[in-house]
Homo-oligomer: A and B are copies of this chain.
Amino acid sequence: MTARPPAGYGYVSAASLPSVAPRPTLRDVATQAGVHPATASRALNEATRSLVRPATVARVREVAAALGYQVNPIARSLKTSRSETVGVLVPDLTNPLFPPIVRGIEDALADSGYTVLTANTDNDPARTSSNFAAMQARQVDGFIVATALLDDPLMHDAAERGVPMVLVNRLTEHLDVSAVSADDATGIERTVAHLVELGHRDIAHVAGPLRVSTGAVRLRAFRAAMQSHGLRDDRVVEAEAYSEAAGRTALLRLLDGNRPTAIVAGNDLLALGCYDALAETGLSCPDDVSIVGFNDMPFINRLQPPLTSVRVPQYDLGVEAARLLLDRLSGRTVTPRVVLLPVRLVVRGSTAPPPTVKRPARAAG
């Protein structure tokens, strides 16, 4: 075996091409500035800069700039065991709920020099565990978690050990961690109020999976709201997942009995599924049944009919989560906080007064 340069990098003898100049190291800067690497390090480092004579600082920084020096985050991480990187775990980036959140996180973190490692868990325990472990191994300084499963032992342990962690759009009662979420309860409350105002009395709820915190929270809010209006709060069916298919199935099950005049769907995807179910049953929205979604996904205003939905400030959710984490990382805040962001009911074409023909005993007019 003859010695070979590593393949793939267009390696050439130094004579022929201006061979790729290796990135300058701290030592290069130091030498060129006529100081010891330690001094250069201190001069370049915000926190230790005060230990170095201003003139020296200036000289070092000049040289560094001239050489285009950038610290090697890897070497730094090895020594400091921090990485200026945070891990973001989402179930599925393809779900329109998450991109704005992730975007908000990235924007907010980038301002502080952090970068983001993302992974999709599909809410699958195995994937969650392995992704989480991989991120921990890469020394991420903290986590932002939008995944449902907090039962993951790895994650649970980590949280209890005090690994910085913020939950987005998911709450937990078992664990003492910061979380930021939309004010789902108020959203549901307004939704119910809106429907009641339109004249609905038979209102059903197609709930998201109850093992997911949003599913449980919204169901509870639905019950509370219905009770406060003195209405039956037990017309509820749980969807198996937050998906169109699950929404369709759930509503079909519900329509089997005597049908409600309005449906509060656990989220927009479920609402879309409800559209399908209604279409299959020959019912019309909103003439026969009104439907309200949750999240106000992009383009949902262009559906037929445009969906009334609760707008969740997803981007801000991400930004706020990032802030919480940054506070935690900087040591400013240590006690977990829960932040609820306000929501807004956006009324569109999918909600209308109930059909009066519903009570055939009365006059049809």
Contacts and interface: CB of A to CB of B under 8 A. Distances in A.
Interface string A66-85: 00001111110110000101
Contacts of A272: 299, 302
Copies in the complex: 2
A120 B111 CA distance: 13
A83 B103 CA distance: 24
Interface stretch (A210-218, A250-258, A327-335, A337-345): A327-335
B137 A120 contact: no
Interface string A104-129: 00110010000111111000000000
B106 A137 contact: no
A98 B131 CA distance: 21
Contacts of A6: 331
B103 A70 contact: no
B137 A70 contact: yes
Interface string A312-336: 0001000000000000110100100
18 contacts: A9-B162, A20-B162, A73-B138, A73-B139, A74-B74, A78-B78, A94-B315, A103-B120, A115-B138, A116-B118, A272-B302, A297-B299, A299-B299, A299-B303, A302-B303, A302-B304, A303-B303, A304-B304
